[in-house]
Amino acid sequence: MCAQLHIRCPVSSLREALSEVIPVVPSRTTLPALECIHFRCEGDTTTLTATNLDLRISVRCPTTVLKSGEALIPAKILWETVRSLERAEELSLHADNTSITLETNYGRYTMAGLPPEEFPTGERSPEPALELPAEVIQRLVRHVLFAASEDPVRLALTGILWEFRADGFTAVATDGYRLSRLHVPAEIPQQGSILVPAETVELLRRVTEPLRVGWDDTTISLIAGSTTIVGRLIGEKFPAYEQVIPTTNSRRCFVERERLLSAIERVALFSPSQARIIRLLFQEGGITLQAEDESRGDRAQEVVACDYSGGELLIGFNAHYLSEALKAAHAERLLLEFSEPTKPVVIRWAESEALPVLESPLVILVMPVRL
């Protein structure tokens, strides 16, 4: 494969492909090749690839291939240039060794590339073992991803557990303060469990086609339409999460999610800026939310109507954690369940009220704070 290529395509096509691979390009690295995007043209197909050595993403881009070959093009300047062009315009991209030229009807832009052979070769991609509907992936991103930890010291908690069981697919994430578990009934042809880094799952936000999944002991491959992602799995053991989910709760509260969420975010404005602690007093007929910053003399109180039973309960939460959990629950009406002020709240969809907790499609926990 020679270090030359020549393609033509609409700006919109290249812009879309670049937007898929650019999140993987590292902002800081000692390897200049990782700051580039690898272009490969074979036949009538142009494939763009980026990697940070832990993750590798390839996207097939619809182009007219005038000359087959490959090139290694600086990602940042290419991305910034292409996304500033008119989407309806057509562009021409030509590479001659390490000289890269991009042309439109009104401009010509030249940049210095690198020899294509400097781009790292990828790990072997495991063959797909099963397929998950796009809707399941979107639910995983919406309901579970938020609870993964960003602390690299607790490596296992920076991943999302994917469990493939005979009764369906389960995804779980926790950072020690929050936990979210999603279960989707499905026929799963291959059982097993893997711990997928949250940054890999983040790349699935835009998936609109069925996702084919393959894995071995160290690597996962994810294929959706024209996009292929290959990444490393986390080799740590995920916590025994089912043991921390309270299954018997004597206090229950049915509440409109949007009303409670709005009240939490307003009242939290009056809490100390660092801790963001708010108090929730659950009583029959309503939830009283309170926050106070004694150093500034700020305080707020608001009442949200609800259907509550089980005896008066005063409990405190980090407002940020609680509001993120309510956003992730993403339903009109929720069921909040409690046992005591020092135990986590269990958040479920109200329609799951007749089901045992561990049989509910979605279970979210938020740990309280001591008042």
**Which stretches of 202-341 are assigned E, i.e. beta strand?**
211-215, 219-224, 227-232, 251-256, 277-283, 286-293, 298-305, 307-309, 313-318, 333-338
Q: Is the pLDDT of residue 371 over 90?
A: no
Integer Cα distance of 208 and 199 in angstroms: 18
Q: Please tell me the distance from the alpha carbon of residue 153 to that of residue 158, in angstroms, as a whole number.
A: 9
Structure tokens given for 27: 């902002």
Angle between helices 319-329 and 134-143 (to 10 degrees): 160
* Sign of the C-alpha dihedral computed for residues 53, 59, 63 and 65 taken in this order: positive
CATH superfamily of 4-118: DNA Polymerase III, subunit A, domain 2 (3.10.150.10)
Q: What is the pLDDT of residues 156-202, one digit of tens each?
A: 999 999 999 988 999 999 999 999 999 999 888 989 999 999 999 99
How confident is the model at residue 44, as a pLDDT?
Answer: 82
Helix (H, G, I), strand (E, B) or coil at 219: strand
- Asked whether the beta carbons of 361 and 182 are under 8 A apart, the reply is yes
245-366 architecture in CATH? Roll (3.10)
Under 8 Å between Cβ of 349 and 330: no
Q: How many CA atoms lie within 13 A of 64 on its CB side?
A: 8
CATH topology identical between 4-118 and 245-366: yes
Q: For residue 144, what are its two tokens?
A: 């579970």
- What does the pLDDT read at residue 274? 80
Q: Give the pLDDT of residue 27.
A: 87
Q: Is 338 exposed, middle or buried (0-12, 13-18, 19+ CB in 10 A)?
A: buried
Predicted confidence at residue 1, as pLDDT, reads 46
Does the structure show a pLDDT above 80 at 2?
A: no
Superfamily of domain 130-241: DNA Polymerase III, subunit A, domain 2 (3.10.150.10)
Residues 6+ apart with CB under 8 A from 121: none
Does the global pTM surpass 0.95? no
Domain ranges of the chain: 4-118, 130-241, 245-366
Q: In this predicted model, what pLDDT tens digit does every residue of 252-304 receive, in sequence order?
A: 999 999 999 999 999 999 998 788 999 999 999 899 999 999 888 899 999 99
Confidence (pLDDT) at 3? 62
User: How much is the average pLDDT of 143-162?
Assistant: 96
Residue 297 CB neighbours (<10 A)? 8
CA atoms within 13 A on the CB side of 79: 19
- Report the interhelical angle of 257-267 vs 319-329 (nearest 10°): 160
To 5 degrees, how large is the angle CA 260–CA 266–CA 268?
A: 95
Q: Strand 345-349 vs strand 333-338: parallel, antiparallel, or unpaired? A: antiparallel
pLDDT digit string, tens, across residues 78-112? 999 999 999 889 999 999 989 999 999 999 999 99
For the chain, give the mean pLDDT. Answer: 94
Dihedral of alpha carbons 333, 339, 344, 346, sign:
negative
Q: For residue 82, give Cα distances in angstroms to 77, 227, 252, 347.
A: 9, 20, 53, 44
The alpha-carbon radius of gyration of the chain (Å, integer) is 25
Structure token pair of residue 258: 């949007």
